[in-house]
Amino acid sequence: MLLLPLSAEPFTAPVDRDMLPSERREFVRTHRTCVFATSRRADGPAMSVVYYVPTDTDELLISTMRGRAKARSVDRDGKVSLCVLDERWPFAYVQVYCDAFIDDDHDLLIDAMMSIGTRMSGEVMPEDARPLVEAMAEREERILLRCRPYQTFAQPPRHLHSNDQAEQLTHWLSAALPWDAPDKPA
């Protein structure tokens, strides 16, 4: 499995139609932040904003501390929702439903943490930072969450630049689609 590099140009969602299944996948592969949501035993879902790393096998990797609720929930239930965020306004998002599990592969964890550092800073983490990242992973008891998408839901960017445009603003229904759904011919 290869970790995909930080995209220099994240996918821009169309504003005049729903995203195609291939565009949803490209959106997820080229962005870097999401709202990570899991079920709780009581109350509503637990949510937190995290950086993720996409792989060439379409898994999404997330580093967290073993004692955090994210890890406990994944260990208990194995189902997560990731709301992948566009960082540009007006923003779009793609909701990704995943099967998730904890992976104790130390080398993959450190590789993912190095890649997350790149995503956080926007600059490639130098290899000489690896020992520092390894020490942090040990000190914080970091683990790797591997999320395997099985379904998506997309929301296009919609925005009013002024209140007199209200009549021009349109919305349409989107649908949840399988992760690997083919694009339908036009």
Of 10-19, 22-31, 65-74, 138-147, give the lowest mean pLDDT range.
10-19
Q: Pairing mode, if any, of strands 53-54 and 60-65?
A: antiparallel
**34-75: pLDDT as tens digits:** 999 999 888 889 999 999 999 999 999 999 999 999 999 999
Please report which helix (H) or strand (E) contains residue 153, including its range: strand 142-155
Given a cut of 70, whether residue 159 has pLDDT beyond it is: no
**Integer Cα distance of 173 and 51 in angstroms:** 28
Task: Sketch out the chain's domains with CATH numbers.
Answer: 21-158+165-178 (2.30.110.10)
Its sign, for the CA torsion 142, 101, 146, 48, is negative
**86-95: pLDDT as tens digits:** 988 778 899 9
Q: When comparing pLDDT for 156 and 21, which is higher? A: 21
In 3D, which of 11, 97, 1, 7 has the Cα closest to residue 55?
Answer: 1
Given a cut of 60, whether residue 169 has pLDDT beyond it is: no
